Homo-oligomer: A and B are copies of this chain.
Amino acid sequence: MKPVTLKQIAEQLNISVTTVSKALKDYSDVSPKTKALVKELAKTLNYKPNTFAVNLRTKESKTIGLIIPVIVHHFFSNVIRGIISQAEKKGYLVIILQSNESYELEKKQIDLLMSQRVDGILISLANGTANFSHLNEVIAQDKPLVMFDKIAKIVKCSKIIIDDRKAAYMATQHLIDTGCKRIAHFRGALLPQNSIDRFLGYKKALLDNNMPYDPSLVYICECGDMSFEEGKKNAQQLLNDHNDVDGIFINTDLVAIGAMTEFNKQGVKVPEDISIVGFSNWFMSSVISPTLTTVDQPGYEMGRAAFKQLYREMKQLKKNKPVVYKEIVLETALVKRESTKELVK
């Protein structure tokens, strides 16, 4: 059963393809009578415009691309939800690719999306990405591009982020306020901006509270992805290296949970011996024990905001109007739970 075309409708009604096309799109220069006839037949024949042809004519695909480091992470799946739901509202479909934190893959996927001629691209960078020419090329070709969460400051485009530095500061301050005297930090990989900013927030909080900053207390994620195993490994290492640490600010909940699991195994009590603050507020952080104090990061909202901005830019582009890049900073909140102690009065 072949799909119905405009031509078939036109032939059956003995009118031109032009008129059929215009009737279906409610052009004002078609008689109401013709419109009614056309629409009725289109409906009975279950006519669906051929998107391929429409795309070719309009040079639009009503499809956007999304590149995300890891889909299964709670934060990112929430971002995806936000993007898809907003896109659907505006009649856009979303092609999703996973970069697996690899720069090479990310680059290939950008190429793929450009070949596919998506109308715009949303991206959260891989940890491995240090070169941004693939992104600048997208921009150079006038393809709207919006980065979120894991961004590169140097790339000129819109960005949806949180204030990582401030959030990390809050988190560290909370450890200090609850009596921690020697606070370690499990940071992410070296490159990502958010990992840098969270580190800087941690450092600033220490200094503002007249606590010494000790580089040996900062553990870098070498493997590139922020995993449960990474948390266990770092926790083990920390216990070997130091016996006076009483608080840790950890870059991601999943890593924090890995660390807590290890501490639990080793008989180190959380928060009595060591307090822990995570980052991102994954669902599971609220159900493990002790429940994890963390920074809530609005994934769903971030996804929505990212699509909205992309949509704005796609619309401007279509009208040949100038695009104004925006940097939208979403609010975060510290969620206090059992992995940190009560406030010291």
Give the interface of A toward B (CB within 8 A).
1, 3, 48-53, 55-56, 59, 61, 63, 71-72, 74, 77-78, 80-81, 84-85, 88, 93-98, 112, 114-117, 140-142, 228, 257, 261, 264, 283-284, 287-289
A337 to chain B, nearest CB (A): 13
Contact at A287–B81, with CB atoms within 8 Å?
Answer: no
Contact at B94–A96, with CB atoms within 8 Å?
Answer: yes
A236 to chain B, nearest CB (A): 16
Measured between alpha carbons, how far is A186 from B94 in the docked complex, in Å? Answer: 35
Measured between alpha carbons, how far is A85 from B3 in the docked complex, in Å? Answer: 31
Q: Which 8 A-B pairs have the closest CB atoms?
A: A284-B284, A52-B55, A52-B56, A72-B77, A93-B95, A48-B115, A71-B77, A96-B96
Chain B residues with CB under 8 Å of A55's CB are 52, 55-56
Contact at A84–B97, with CB atoms within 8 Å?
Answer: yes
Chain B residues with CB under 8 Å of A283's CB are 72, 228, 284
Which of these, B98, B115, B257, contacts A84 with CB under 8 Å?
B98
Chain B residues with CB under 8 Å of A84's CB are 71, 96-98
The answer to whether residues A80 and B96 also contact, given A55-B55, A142-B1 and a CB cut-off of 8 A, is yes
Chain B residues with CB under 8 Å of A96's CB are 80, 84, 94-96
Chain B residues with CB under 8 Å of A142's CB are 1
Measured between alpha carbons, how far is A119 from B94 in the docked complex, in Å? Answer: 16
Chain B residues with CB under 8 Å of A53's CB are 56
Contact at A93–B116, with CB atoms within 8 Å?
Answer: yes
Give the interface centre of A52, A53, A97 by most chain B CB atoms within 10 Å. Answer: A52
> Residue of B at shortest CB range from A291?
B261
Measured between alpha carbons, how far is A78 from B142 in the docked complex, in Å? Answer: 34
Chain B residues with CB under 8 Å of A1's CB are 140-142
Contact at B56–A85, with CB atoms within 8 Å?
Answer: no
Chain B residues with CB under 8 Å of A3's CB are 141
8 extra interchain contacts, Cβ-Cβ under 8 A, other than A50-B117, A71-B77? Answer: A52-B52, A53-B56, A55-B56, A72-B81, A84-B98, A94-B95, A283-B284, A288-B289
Give the interface centre of A72, A283, A288 by most chain B CB atoms within 10 Å. Answer: A72
Measured between alpha carbons, how far is A200 from B142 in the docked complex, in Å? Answer: 57
Give the interface centre of A1, A77, A81 by most chain B CB atoms within 10 Å. Answer: A77
Measured between alpha carbons, how far is A88 from B67 in the docked complex, in Å? Answer: 13
Chain B residues with CB under 8 Å of A48's CB are 114-115
Measured between alpha carbons, how far is A47 from B188 in the docked complex, in Å? Answer: 38
**Could you jot down 24 A-B contacts, CB within 8 Å?**
A1-B142, A49-B115, A51-B117, A52-B52, A52-B55, A52-B56, A56-B56, A71-B77, A72-B74, A72-B77, A72-B78, A72-B81, A72-B283, A81-B98, A84-B97, A93-B112, A93-B116, A95-B95, A264-B289, A283-B284, A284-B284, A284-B287, A284-B288, A288-B288
